[in-house]
Amino acid sequence: MAAHSMVYLKGMINLKKRSEIIKKFKAEGGQIAAIAPYHYPKALFRAFNILPVELWGPPKLNTLESKSHIQTYICSVVHSILTFHLKGNLSVCDYILIPHTCDSLQGLGSIFLDFIKPEQKAFTLYIPRGRRQVDIDFLSKEIEKIYNELQKATGTTPDKNELNHHIETEEQAVSMVKKLIKNRAYLNTDDYTFYKTIRSKEYLPAEDFIEIAEEFYKTYKIDTPLNKKPVILSGLLPEPMEILNVINEKDGLVAGDDFATTGRRLYPKSEGQNPFVRMAKSIVHSPPDSSRGDSVEARLNHLIHITEKTGAKGVIFFIVKFCEMEYFYLPHLRKGLSEKGIKSIVIDTDINDELSQQTITRIEVFMETLK
């Protein structure tokens, strides 16, 4: 197929809905854990035959119920998670995990533990902000604490071999995401289909995701790169996902990823026999990340590195409104990118709103400025 073809291949990978995956997993004797964003030890839950299903909202939700419990200026991701709970939609889950990713999620954890207590067992997880040995030690103890709680709740005791087996399976799944992102320009499909596929890792068992990702790669792989304008996306998540269609319609391609859902969780492989330390190391050594308190210099160098690898001349910061940890970096990142000749734009979004015409126009104009 010609590299310059404007016709993407679509809809050839059959992805089941989250509800179907959850129903099937529970029917086979497993349990479900609802996971708030975004760093957590997935392998730990799988070792207890618990499927982690991530809560990035969900989007397009009327969040009226949550507004009587948290301020309106809290981000829409947190509002949606709380509303989803208040509507009873988490009843299918057996456990809830809320990592202390930011102040808003830390507040949500307090609400779940002390005020609007769910029927399920709720856990919190403190993610250290540094990358030192002491941070690995701290996080490994946090993970071991959850292990002990799950041990009590399930009555099972996965040994080191079981834990390490699931760690390696999850690492294979992460490797597949890395492979797909690295080869994005050689995959002849639209960005909406691409992101729908790689984000299925948020709810699929790792072994199922690996199989689907391999099929996806074989189905869409071409020999020469797509002749599109490469652009980088940065932020928490690509919601509303219609932004991807706008980019493609302007002859663009999301060639690099700095989203919390994906690019910031391209964890390195770990070594050693202690599974708690292995899981902690992977998270601590994740790519530069605003939620981890990394320096502006580290974040900037990481973005510049992605642009150099992909040939992108533009970065779209797709920011969920009121996300302070993202906003803090923006002036410095944009200044540093500009000094390197890389254009950028900031798009403020609410995951529950439709993509406005004004936003569409701004993205279209930005894409037209890229050479």
Q: Are 220 and 188 in contact (CB under 8 A)?
A: yes
How far apart (Å, rounded) are the C-alpha atoms in residues 313 and 104? 33
283: tokens are 């998270």
Cβ-based neighbour number of residue 155 at 10 Å? 8
Average pLDDT value for the chain = 94
Quote the CA–CA distance of 108 and 316 in Å, as a whole number.
Answer: 29
Q: How confident is the model at residue 11 (pLDDT cuts 50, 70, 90)?
A: low
> Domain spans of the chain?
18-159
Token pair for 219: 């189905």
**Would strands 50-54 and 31-35 be described as parallel, antiparallel, or unpaired?**
parallel
Please state, for a pLDDT cut of 90, what percent of the chain lies above it: 88
Beta pairing partners, 318? 235, 347
DSSP label at residue 187 = B
Query: Could you give the angle at the alpha carbon of 120 between the alpha carbons of 117 and 126, nearest 5°?
Result: 75
Tell me whether the omega of the peptide bond preceding residue 52 falls within 30 degrees of 0, making it cis: no
Q: Please state whether beta strands 252-259 and 229-235 pair in parallel, antiparallel, or not at all (unpaired).
A: parallel
Q: How many CB atoms lie within 10 A of CB 20?
A: 10
Read off the pTM. Answer: 0.94
Phi first, then psi, for residue 125 (nearest 5°) are -140, 120
Q: Kindly tell me if the per-residue pLDDT of 232 is higher than 80.
A: yes
Bridge partners of 316, per DSSP, are 233, 345
Tell me the helix, strand and coil percentages in the chain, rounded to 5.
Answer: 50, 15, 35
The confidence band for 14, taking pLDDT boundaries of 50, 70 and 90, is confident
Which residues, 6+ apart, have CB-to-CB distance to 165 below 8 Å? 47
pLDDT of residue 279: 98
The string of pLDDT tens digits covering residues 66-101 is 988 898 889 999 999 999 999 999 999 999 999 999
Three-class SS state of 285: coil
- Burial class of residue 370 (count of CB atoms within 10 Å of its CB; 0-12, 13-18, 19+): middle
21-35 mean pLDDT: 97
Please tell me the CATH code under which domain 18-159 is placed.
3.40.50.11890
Given this model, what pLDDT does residue 2 score?
Answer: 33
Amino acid sitting at position 337: L
Residue with tokens 């799944």: 173
User: Is the pLDDT score of 5 beyond 80?
Assistant: no
Interval 238-243 mean pLDDT: 95
Digit-coded pLDDT (tens) for 108-146: 999 988 888 888 999 999 999 999 999 999 999 999 999
Number of H helices, E strands in the chain: 14, 8
Cβ 146 vs Cβ 123: under 8 Å: yes
pLDDT surpassing 60 at residue 4: no
Between 72 and 344, where is the model more confident? Answer: 344
pLDDT tier at 3, thresholds 50, 70, 90: very low
pLDDT at res. 7: 53
CA distance 226 to 204: 29
